[in-house]
Structure 1
Amino acid sequence: MTGALRVLVVDDHPVVLAGLTALIDAADDLTVCGAAKSVAEVRAVAADLAPDVCVLDLQLPDGDGITLGRTLKQQWPTTRVLILTMSDDPGAVVRSLGTGLDGYLLKDSDPHELLTAIRSVATGATVLGRGTSAPVVAASNAAPDTSPLRALDARDREILALLVAGLTTTQVAHRVFLAPKTVRNRISGLMGKLGVTTRDEAVSLGRAAGL
């Protein structure tokens, strides 16, 4: 379909792969440009695909989705990568974001949530599915007392961690169950505590502190 987002799907379970392909192809604005069950299969078909979004399983028979996603983003700099997995392992969530991938979603998500996530990462947003933002928050709360973030309270750290992950003010508000105006006020307050004047500076400090 002309103008549809091109999606590469990788999952080592044939039934899951077929289901994802059917779900995505059924959406008017999405089309599956490739499907594979392993890293080797991706390499065999990937040369001319240049997908807009890659939906990758975390565990593959000959590799992992995070490493594959990093490789695909190097090959196609404009491609976005969404991990879709059964694993809510905190280390995997943090590693995927730290590697530069664009989203992490659990397979028990609603089909509509998956389609929305694909569209969102295609626009440049970072997507964290339900149950996957907690590791990012935990990583922020683990910062040592010598961290530049020591002046922040738990809610400040939670919001800053989500900003570091690339979420917009509206997305952060949805994650922490606050009104967007309240989140904007919290962001202004944490910037003051950090002694910075822009959101980008706050995000840079958060990233440097290991969020």
Structure 2
Amino acid sequence: MDDTPVRVLIVDDQTLMRQGLRKLLEIEPGVTVSGAAASGQEALALLATTTVDVALVDAKMPGMDGVALIRRLAAEHPSVACVILTTFDDDEYIFGGLAAGARGFLLKDTPPDELVTTLRRAAAGETVLGSPAAERVVARLRTDPHGTGLEALSAREREVGDLIAQGAHNREIARRLFITEGTVKNHVTALLRKLGMRDRTQLALFLAKHRDQR
């Protein structure tokens, strides 16, 4: 058995949560806390000089949220396994995070021993889901066997998505749906996050391909 400690980076904008997780993990055998970051940008800066096996990432943070950070880590630090730890168990974070490359999803009321086990399994390359997330995944597979994530979109997001697939720009979408351009931008951001897309071009191609499923 490999006795090398799992090196963990904690990413959470709440000071008490960061400190609490650090103290919890530091007493666990086989786990080393390599660092703690208050934001996605700070986490990326730390990873430039710190060796990490697993990033324990809060889903909802100001600026760069957890899903966006995980997408960056998957592209820039593919050897780092990401586990989302959050109080929010909605589809946007579960499926957005998994699509971005997360190896695990846990709620913040997860027992400490389960958290540690998840970190070790994620470091070993496994995907680990807490009970609420696992139930959502099963439900998604039953209603959306191809795993596209389209059924999680709201009616308005579907309307915006249809127009994006047709090549419409934000101003045209706003005019046709009688909403502001700012509202369109918010819907586009939600679509990118929920469907795990990198940019608008990838989103448009994906939506055009799966048009019949919306």
TM-score under structure 1 length normalisation: 0.64
8 Å Cα contact 1:50-1:76 kept in structure 2? no
How many Å apart are 1:127 and its aligned residue?
0.6
Corresponding residue for residue 182 of structure 1: none
Instruction: Say whether 1:87 aligns with 2:84.
Output: no
Gaps of 5+ in 1: 148-207
Q: After superposition, give the CA deviation of every residue in 1:80-103 in whole Å (9 maximum; x if it has no partner).
A: 000000001023211211222101
- Please say if 1:107 is aligned against 2:102: no
Bigger helix fraction: 2
What is the number of residues matched between the two proteins?
146
Q: CA distance change for structure 1 residues 143 and 76 in 2, over 3 Å: closer, same or farther?
A: closer
Mapping 1:191-206, distance limit 5 Å: none
Retained in 2: the 8 A contact 1:84–1:104? yes
CA contact (8 A) 1:6 1:53 kept: yes
Q: Distance in 1 between matches of 2:70 and 2:51?
A: 13
The percentage of counterpart residues that share the same residue type is: 38
1:27 to partner: Cα distance:
1.2
Alpha-carbon RMSD: 2.0
Instruction: Note if contact 1:93-1:132 (Cα within 8 Å) is conserved in structure 2.
Output: yes
Report SS of the residue matched to 1:132.
helix
Question: Is residue 93–residue 104 contact of structure 1 (8 Å, CA) maintained in 2?
Answer: yes
Aligned partners of 2:74 and 2:100 also within 8 Å? no
Q: Where does residue 57 of structure 1 map in the other structure? A: 58
User: What's the secondary structure of 1:63's corresponding residue?
Assistant: coil
Partner of residue 126, structure 1: 127
Q: Match of 1:60, SS?
A: coil
Given that residues 7 and 52 in structure 1 are in contact (C-alpha distance below 8 angstroms), is that contact kept between their aligned partners in structure 2? yes
2:29 pairs with 1:28: yes
For residues 91-141 of structure 1, what are the alpha-carbon distances to aligned partners after superposition, in whole Å with 9 as ceiling and x for unaligned? 321121122210100001101110111011011110101211122122112
SS at 2:83 equivalent: strand
Report the Cα distance in structure 1 between the residues aligned to 2:140 and 2:127, rounded to whole angstroms. Answer: 17
Q: Which has the higher contact order (CA 8 A, sep 6+)?
A: 2
Post-superposition Cα deviations, 1:31-67, rounded to whole Å, max 9, x if no partner, equal 1111011123223322111310000000112121111
1:143 matched residue in structure 2: 144
Equivalent pair of 1:91/1:135 in contact (CA under 8 Å): no
| Paired position in structure 2 for 1:7 | 8
State the match for 2:47 in structure 1: 46
Q: Distance in 2 between matches of 1:143 and 1:45?
A: 38
CA distance in 2, matches of 1:76, 1:99: 13
**Unaligned runs of at least 5 residues, structure 2:** 147-209
Contact 2:41 2:64 survives alignment (8 Å): no
